[in-house]
Structure 1
Amino acid sequence: MSLLSIGKSGLLSAQVGLATTSNNITNANTAGYNRQVAIQSDSITQYQGFGYVGTGTEISAVRRYYDNFLATSLRNAESNQASLNTYNTQISQVDNLLSDTSAGLSPALQDFFNGVQDATASPASTAARQSMLSNAESLVSRFQSMSARLTEIGDGVNSQIKSSVSEINSYAQQIAAINNTIAGMTTETAAPNDLLDKRDQMLTELNKLVKINVTQGDNNMLNVSFGTGQPLVQGNTSYQLATSTSDTDAGHVTLGYQTASGAFSELPDSVFTGGQLGGLVDFRDNALTTAQNSLGQIAAGLATAFNAQHVLGQDQNGDAGTNFFNPISAYVGPSTKNSLNSTATVSATVTDASALTSSDYSVDYDGTNFNVTRLSDGKVTKIDPYPQTEAQVIDGVSYSISGDAATNDSFLVKPTYYAAQQLSLAISDPSKIALAAPIATAAPTTNVGNASISAGTVDANYLTAGNQITSTTTLSYDKASATLSGFPANQDVTVTGTDGTSTVYPAGTAVPYTDGATISFGGVSFAISGTPADQDTFTVGPNTSGVGDSRNGALLAGLQTKNVLNNGSSTFQTSYAQIVNVVGTKARAAQISSTAADAAVTQATNNQQSVSGVNLDEEAANLLRYQQAYQAAGKVIQVAGTLFDTLLSLSS
C-alpha cells in the first residue's frame, strides 16, 4: 500500500477518535449516557519479500463502556430509594396527623372525660350536662376530621397509583418500540450505542416506578418483568397494566393486567415491590390501613362501651338511659362476582368493645357453611348454625346473615375502618344524659342493728326483660337462721364473698348472711356490711328521686382509665398512644432507611460512573492525543505528496 493510503487511514482514524471524544465531552451531563471509545487496530500487512510491511490503521469498533452488573446494582439501589422515599413521604403525613399535640385525638378524649367528670360532680346542673354534650360533639368532630384526613391521604395514594401505572405502561411501550429499532440496526460487529443508552435510561426511569428484572432477549433486545416474573416487555411486545375498583370495596384500587379483550385480570399487591408504586402499595396496605382501622377501633370501642354503661343509667327525667352514641355498623361489601341468583345479605354491628380487633374480615359461603376469616391472621370461624336462629358474635361484632346464598358468595367486612367517620351522637338533650343509677337501696332508721347496705349497681343482665325493678323489694334478716329472705321469687341469688368465692342460691330459698359479701340477682348488685339485728330490713327499689344522683356518671367517667380495649388490656388513651408509637416508629424507620438508600444510590452511581461515566480531564487529554495523531497523519500525506512530486520531476 502506498504511503498516501497509510497516511489517509491514520487521518481517518484520528478523525473518528476526535469525533468520539468530542461526543463524550458534549454528553458528559446527559442522563444515561455511557462513554464511548474508538477502538483502533492495524490493517492487514503485506509481504514484500524481505518481510511484512504495514498498510495503515482502521477503526474496528466504537466501543460503549457498559457494565451490566454495575448498571443492575444501580437500578436496584434506585428502585429501593424511590420506594422508601415515597413511603417516607406518605407515612410522615400520618405521623404528623396522629402525633399533633393540639389537633390529635388525646386532647379531645381528655376534654370529653373531663366533661363527664364535671357533669358527674354536678348532676343537677344543666350547664354541666350541656358542657359534657359539647365536649362529646368536639370529640366526634375530631374523630371524623382525622378519619377524613386519612381518607384524603388514601385518595391521594390511589390517584398516584393510577398515575404510576400510566407511566409504567408508557415506558413499556417505548421500550418495546426501541427494542424493535435496535434489533433492526444491530449487526454482528456494531450496535447503535445512542439507542442502547436511551433504552437503558428508559429502564432506569421505569425501575424507579416499579422494581424490574431485565434479561437478554434475541437480537440484542431486552425482556422486562416485575414481581415474581410478571412480564412487562417481551422483545417488541409490551403488556399493559391497569387499575380497577375492588370487587368488595369501592374505595380500594386494585392492580392487574389489561387483557387484549379489554378485561381486567387482577394481580396480588405483593408482586408490586420497589419503586414508587411499590412504596405506595406498601404504605396503603399496611401503615394507612392500620392507622385507619386502629383509629376506628377506638371510636367503635368508645361508642360501644359508653353506650353499654349509659343504658344502665337513669336520665334527669327518671327514664332509663338510651344510647349516648349511635351504634357502629361495620362496612359490608358484597362481591360484584356473587351469583345473580343469590339473595344473601350480611349485616354486622359492633357489640363488644373488649373483643373488637382492628382487622378486616372475609365472609365466604362454601356451599354448605358461611365462614368468617380474620384477614390479619387467617383465623376462621364458622357461622353455626346456618341458617341462623340468632345473630352470632365474632370478635366483638354481631353477624346476621339472611337470604339464600350461592356457592362462592363472598363479603368483605370492615368493622372499624369507617367507624371514626361514622361516629355520631344519639342524644342532643342534656336531660337525657343518664348519670343516675336506676335503683335505690336503703336501710330504715328503725333497724336496731348496725348493718348498712351499699348504694347498689346494675349490670347488663338488668336490661333482660323481667329483671327491671319496678317496685320495692324488702329483704328481712332472721337472726335465728342468720339468713336474708324476701328476694324476688323467680330469680336466683348469687353471693360473692370478700375472698371472691361465689355461691348461687336457687330462687325462693333463704340466703345465708355474710358480712361484706356482694349480693346479686337479676343484674342488681349490692353489699350488706355490719351486724344486723333480728328482723332488720333492707330495701332495693326503683330510683324515684335521682336528679342529684351520679352513680352511673361515676362509672361512665371511670371508663377513661378502665382497660376496655384489646381484651381488657388497654384504655382508650393507651390504645391511641400505641397507634402513635407504631406509626411514629415506622416513620422513623422509613426516614433512616431512606437516608441509607440515598447513600447506597450515591455509592452505586459512583461505581457505575467509574466505568461508564465521562471524565472530562481524560477526554481533554484524548482530544490532544487525537489532534496530534491527526496532524501527524496529515504530515505523512504531505510527505507522500512531496515524494510523488519528486518522482514526477525525475520522470520528466
Structure 2
Amino acid sequence: MAADLLSIAKSGAAAARTALDLTAQNIANASSEGYVRRTISVSELSANSVSSAPTAVNLAGVRVNGVVRNADVFRQAEVRRTGADAARASAEVQGLENIESSVEQTGVYDAIVAFEGSLQQLLSDPTDGSLRAAVLEQGRTLSETFNVASSSLDAVGKGLQFDAQDGVDEVNRLAGELARVNLRLSRASDQSSDQTTLLDQRDSLLEQMSKVANVNASYNPDKTVSVTIGGTAGQTLVSGGTTATLAMATAADGTISFTLDGAAASISSGALAGRSQALTQLADTRGQLDTLAAKIVDVVNTAQANGADLNGNAGQPLFSGTGAGDMAMIATNGSAIATAPAGSAANSRDPGNLTALRNDLATADPAGEMDTLLFTISSAVAGRTVTRDALESIASTAKVALQAQAGVDLDEEAVSLVRYQQAFQANGRVMQVASDIFDSILNIR
C-alpha cells in the first residue's frame, strides 16, 4: 500500500510541477503578441490487480498526456478573414485620399475658372495688351497646374506600386518562414512544449500573411498547414516545406496584377487588394484628367484656327500637348490670341471669334467636368471610409473574441498558481506519509 502511495504521489507531484511551469509561462507571456494560453492534459493511470481479480482495476496515479493550446481554429480563421477585409479597405482609403489630394490641392478647378474669367475680361476690350497678356498668363498657369496634377498622380501611383511590391515580397518572406515552421512541426513530438511554440509561430505567420493577401489555411494531421492564395479555389502558396513565388506585373496604365509561379492569381482582400483597387481608381482619374486637358487644348486651338489675331494673321494654336502631363502654352505674345473673325484687319475690335471660343468652352464645360471629377473622388473616399471603419470594428470584435478564448487571464492564472502549488505540496505530504508507514512497518518487532 505504501509503495502504491509513493507512485501515486510521485505522478501527482510531476503533473502539478508541469502545470506550475505552464502557469508561469502563461503569466510571463500574458502580453506577448500571438501567444496562446497553455494548459496541461492529464488522464488517470490505472493498473490491473491480479491478486484480487483478473478484471479489477486500481488507480495508480495520473499521466501527463501533453500540453494543450487553448486555440479555436474557427475564431482564428475569422480573425484572418476580417483582418484581411479591414486591411484591404484601409489600404484603398489611404490610396484614394492621396489621389484626392493630388487632384484637389493642385487647384486645377480654380485654374480653369481663372482662365475662363480672363477670356471674359478680354471681351470688354479685345485690343488691350494687358488683358491679352493676362489671358496668356492664365493659360500658362492652367497648363502648368495640369502638369503638376499629373506629376502628383504619378507620385501617388509610384508609391502605391512600391507598397504593393513590398507586400508581394512580404508574402514570399512569410511563406518561406511558414514552410520552415512546417518542417519543424513535422519532426516535433506531439503535444510537446516545442510543438506548441511552433504552433504559435504558425498561427502568427498566417495572421500576418492574411493582412497582406487573402489566404486560406487547411490543417494537416501532423499540425502542418497548407496555404492557398486567392481563396479556397486559389493556387497553393505553401505545402509542407515547399513554397510558390508570388510576383507582380505593372500595366502601361499603372494598374497591377499578380501571378503565382507564372499563373494568374486573384487577390481580393488584404492590403495588396486595396492598393490594386486604388491604382485602378488612379488610372481612371488620370484618364479623365487627360481627357479634360485634351478637350481644352482642342477647343481653344480649334477656335484659334477659325479667327484672326491682333495683327490680322490667321490664328495659331495657343496650347500643345495631348493630355495633362504634356499640356503647355506655346504662344509667346498676347497678340497671338485670335479674337476677331477670320479675314479681319489688324487691330480689329470685333470679338466675334472670342465669343465663339467662350461659347465652345461653355458647351464643353471643363469647369463642370472637373467639379464632377472632384466630387466623384471625394464621394469614393467618404464611402470607402465608412466601409473601412465598419470592417475595422468587425475585425476588432473578432480579435477580442479570440483573445477572450485563447488569451491569458492573469486572475485565472493566479488561482491556478495557488491550486497547483497546493497540489504539489499535498503530493509531497502523501509521500511523507508513505515513508512514515514504511518506517512503522520496518520497526515492528
TM bin (shorter chain): over 0.9
Distance, in Å, in 1 between the alignment partners of 2:214 and 2:85 is: 8
The structure with the largest helix share of the pair is 2
2:353 aligned with 1:559, yes or no? no
Structure 1 residues 21 and 218: alpha-carbon distance in aligned structure 2, compared to 1, 3 A threshold: closer
Partner of 1:533: none
TM-fit CA distance, 1:57: 1.2
Distance 2:78 2:148 in 1: 44
Q: Does 1:325 align with 2:319?
A: yes
TM-score (norm 2): 0.93
Amino acid in structure 2 at the alignment position of 1:288: L
Q: What is aligned with 1:600?
A: 394
Aligned partner letter, 1:237: T
The one-character-per-residue Cα deviations of 1:435-460 (angstroms, maximum 9, x if unpaired) are 1001xxxxxxxxxxxxxxxxxxxxxx
Counterpart position of 1:307? 301
> Aligned-pair distance for 1:204?
0.5
1:68-107 aligned at under 5 Å gives the runs: 68-100=73-105, 103-107=106-110
Secondary structure, counterpart of 1:172 in structure 2 = helix
Which residue is equivalent to 1:359? none
Report whether the alignment pairs 1:151 with 2:117.
no
Instruction: Specify whether residues 281 and 266 from structure 1 end up closer, same or farther in structure 2 by C-alpha distance, changes over 3 A only.
Output: farther
Give the whole-Å Cα distance in 2 for the aligned partners of 1:133 and 1:188.
80
Deviations 1:14-56 (A, max 9, x none): 1011111111111111111111111222111442528643211
* 2:404 aligned partner: 610
> Using a 3 Å threshold, how does the CA distance of structure 1 residues 296 and 250 change in structure 2: closer, same or farther?
closer
- CA RMSD, 1 decimal: 2.0
Shift of 1:288: 1.0
Letter in 2 for 1:624: V
Q: Which of residues 203, 207, 228 is equivalent to 2:206?
A: 203
Q: So what's the TM-score if we normalise by structure 1?
A: 0.64
In 1, Cα distance between the equivalents of 2:385 and 2:283? Answer: 20
Residues 183 and 219 of structure 1 are in contact (CA less than 8 Å); yes or no, is this contact kept in structure 2? Answer: yes
CA contact (8 A) 2:19 2:40 kept: yes
Offset of residue 267 of structure 1: 2.7
| 1:281 lines up with 2:286 in the alignment | no
Q: What residue is the counterpart of 1:53 in the other structure?
A: 58
Offset of 1:547 from its aligned partner?
2.2
1 or 2, which has the higher strand percentage? 1
Q: Is the 8 A contact 2:309 2:339 kept in 1?
A: yes
CA contact (8 A) 2:132 2:334 kept: yes
Task: Report whether the alignment pairs 1:430 with 2:231.
Answer: no
Q: Does 2:13 match 1:2?
A: no
**Equivalent in 344, 355, 360 of residue 543 of structure 1:** 344
2 CA distance for matches of 1:266 and 1:146? 36
Instruction: Select the residue among 234, 237, 241 that pairs with 2:239.
Output: 234
CA contact (8 A) 2:9 2:61 kept: yes
TM-superposed deviation, 1:135 = 0.5
2:310·2:346 contact (CA, 8 Å) conserved in 1?
A: no
Residue of structure 1 in register with 2:166 after alignment:
163
Q: Tell whether 2:436 aligns with 1:635.
A: no
2:370 matched residue in structure 1: 576
Once the 2 structures are TM-superposed, how far is the Cα of residue 91 of structure 1 from its aligned partner? 1.0
For residues 609 and 44 of structure 1, do their structure 2 counterparts lie closer, same or farther at Cα, with a shift above 3 Å needed?
same
- On the 8 A contact 1:82/1:209 being kept in 2, the answer is yes
Letter in 2 for 1:128: L
Instruction: Report the more deviating stretch, 86-95 or 180-189.
Output: 180-189
Equivalent residue of 1:559, what SS? helix
What's 1:66 paired with? 71
State the distance in 2 between where 1:266 and 1:322 align: 53
Distance 1:266 1:326 in 2: 43
Displacement after TM superposition at 1:642 (Å): 1.3
Give the alignment of 1:467-478 within 5 angstroms.
none
- The amino acid that maps onto 2:332 is S
The alpha carbon displacement at 1:141 in A equals: 0.9
Deviation at 1:142, TM superposition (A): 0.7
CA contact (8 A) 1:312 1:552 kept: yes
SS where residue 39 of structure 2 aligns?
A: strand
User: What amino acid is aligned across from residue 60 of structure 2 in structure 1?
Assistant: T
Cα distance in 2, alignment partners of residues 309 and 543 from structure 1: 15
Aligned counterparts of 2:254 and 2:385: Cα–Cα separation in 1: 28
In structure 2, do the counterparts of structure 1 residues 638 and 157 end up closer, same or farther at CA, with 3 Å as the change threshold? Answer: same
| Equivalences for residues 240-389 of structure 1 within 5 A | 240-246=245-251, 249=252, 254-257=257-260, 259=261, 265=262, 267=264, 271-285=266-280, 287-328=281-322
1:544 positional shift: 2.8
Instruction: Specify the structure having the higher radius of gyration (Cα).
Output: 1
* Structure 1: distance between partners of 2:192 and 2:29: 24
1:383-532 map, 5 Å: 419-438=323-342
Q: Which moved more, 1:579-588 or 1:551-560?
A: 551-560
- Aligned mates of 2:345, 2:64 — CA distance in 1: 110
Match of 1:184 in 2: 187
Alignment partner, residue 22 of structure 1: 24
* Cα distance, 1:250 vs structure 2: 8.6
Q: Distance in 2 between matches of 1:135 and 1:256?
A: 47
